[in-house]
Amino acid sequence: MKYRPLSKEFYINNRSKLAEKLPSNSIAIFNSNDIMPTNADGTMRFRQNNDIFYLSGIDQEESILVVCPDFPNPDMREILFLRETNEHIAIWEGHKYTKDEAFETSGITNIQWLSNFDQVLNTLMALSESVFLNSNEHLRADVQVESRDARFINQCKSRYPLHTYRRVAPIMHQLRAIKAQEEIQQMQVACDITEKGFRRILSFVKPGVTEYEIEAEFIHEFVRNRSKGFAYEPIIASGANACVLHYIENKEACKDGDLILFDVGAEYGNYNADMSRTIPVNGKFTKRQRSVYDAVLRVQRSAMEMLRPGVNIQDYHKEVGLIMQSELVNLGLIDQTDIKNQDPKWPAYKKYFMHGTSHHLGLDVHDVGTMYEPISKGMVFTVEPGIYIQEEGIGVRLENNIVILEDGYFDLMRNIPIDAEEIEELMRG
């Protein structure tokens, strides 16, 4: 791997946290993701399933992790099955994990080739009551293809119809929502690489450059710093394009006098950064742009102060909405009559700020984790207010990534310029 892996102790600890949450006589089984096809013999780049990665650090296709904490023979309580390599695979695809390397990565001592899986599973299932299988239960998942885990659910149920089947996803969401120090360090690297990309484009942007040229500058900086690339499809949106929330075409030339909104983050070691910044194409904000910009920045700073242990995320979103409402009144975008007549389910401020302020961030960009239980120490959130004024061709979003501490927060993007004056100064070169 071109990234620095986390320690095997981290993965050993994650598996023991999982084992603690399983009822007695349980078995939990996790599959790698498939390598997704494109057309003809084309494939997408492999992206490991985040749950098996979180529990093993194994970043390879066709791997299976089995955790069976109460099995009488201690050697059988954790088993990792790997694709057995051969000369042909070595020549065409390159190196695959040896058993020793898989142990060094995961801390799992019982590593077997996949060809043994069916037989070993039979032995484990004979003494197991509850079978915990994995599924994508992200609140906003809209998956049209059958994953390897989903296929395995069908196979397992048809081969062992009389076991009790349970969902492991809620346990994984709970565990993954709280980040360990090592994970936070990995996310800090992702944010630092993102910072390098942003500083690079500050001296590159000028009237006439295209959005796709800016995208190319970012990816150049990311890949040369050991990132696989963008954490998600980058948004490079100049002028009114910034008001299209998921604008990813990045095809226009940037005009003198416009703003450009970037929503761009690097991945590193399968962890993600998620940054938004907004800068003036010609290096100087107009008075109106600056007023909108500073309003968004004030909302972001107030929101960050509100995120602490014990806070209810739904209440937090309502509070941020009220702060935004008052900024929009000051900007002359909404007035007291709009507020008085508003639909409580879609308050007046939503006309200009129509998305949420924060989501969990980690191995997934919109990471798993509850939005209905109080915030806890160790969670990582984005803080990303925005104001989008279609009629003025102005869209501003500012997005940082913060870790929740016992008594406040730590900003993983504290070094990424955000003050309007600092941005102008850096653009002057």
Q: Minimum Å distance from CB 358 to Mn ion?
A: 8
Tokens of residue 123, six digits: 């032995």
- Tracing tokens 């002359």 back to the chain, one arrives at 332
246, 343, 372, 391: the active-site residue: 246
Q: Minimum Å distance from CB 359 to ligand GLY?
A: 6
Stretch that binds Mn ion, among 19-27, 62-70, 346-354, 396-404 (CB under 5 A): 396-404
Instruction: Please report whether residue 232 would count as binding ligand GLY according to CB under 6 A.
Output: yes
Asked if 429 and 282 touch (Cβ cutoff 8 Å), the reply is no
Binders in 378-417 for ligand GLY, by CB under 6 A: 384, 399
Instruction: Please report whether residue 263 would count as binding ligand GLY according to CB under 6 A.
Output: yes
274 is catalytic: yes
- Taking each continuous run of H as one helix and of E as one strand, the counts in the chain are 13, 16
- Tracing tokens 């997005």 back to the chain, one arrives at 399
95 is catalytic: no
75 is catalytic: no
Q: Where are the alpha helices (DSSP H) in 261-312?
A: 287-306
Q: Minimum Å distance from CB 178 to ligand GLY?
A: 20
Q: Where are the alpha helices (DSSP H) in 208-335?
A: 211-223, 287-306, 313-330
Sheet holding 78-82: strands in order across? Answer: 110-113, 78-82, 64-67, 26-31, 130-133, 164-167
- Tracing tokens 């107009």 back to the chain, one arrives at 286
Say if strands 26-31 and 130-133 run parallel, antiparallel, or are unpaired: parallel
4 is catalytic: no
> Radius of gyration over alpha carbons of the chain, in Å?
24
Report the candidate in 302, 337, 368, 312 with the shortest Cα–Cα distance to residue 140. 368
Instruction: Please report whether residue 364 would count as binding ligand GLY according to CB under 6 A.
Output: no
359 is catalytic: yes
Q: Which is nearer to ligand GLY, 51 or 274 (CB)?
A: 274
Instruction: Please report whether residue 263 would count as binding Mn ion according to CB under 5 A.
Output: yes
Q: Which is nearer to Mn ion, 36 or 141 (CB)?
A: 141
246 is catalytic: yes
Asked if 32 and 62 touch (Cβ cutoff 8 Å), the reply is yes
| Residue 232 binds which of Mn ion, ligand GLY, none (CB < 5-8 A, kind-dependent) | ligand GLY
Instruction: Please report whether residue 364 would count as binding Mn ion according to CB under 5 A.
Output: no
Asked if 380 and 362 touch (Cβ cutoff 8 Å), the reply is yes
Name the site residues for Mn ion (rule: CB under 5 A): 263, 274, 382, 399
Catalytic residues: 41, 246, 263, 274, 355, 359, 366, 384, 388, 397, 399
Name the site residues for ligand GLY (rule: CB under 6 A): 232, 263, 274, 359, 365, 384, 399
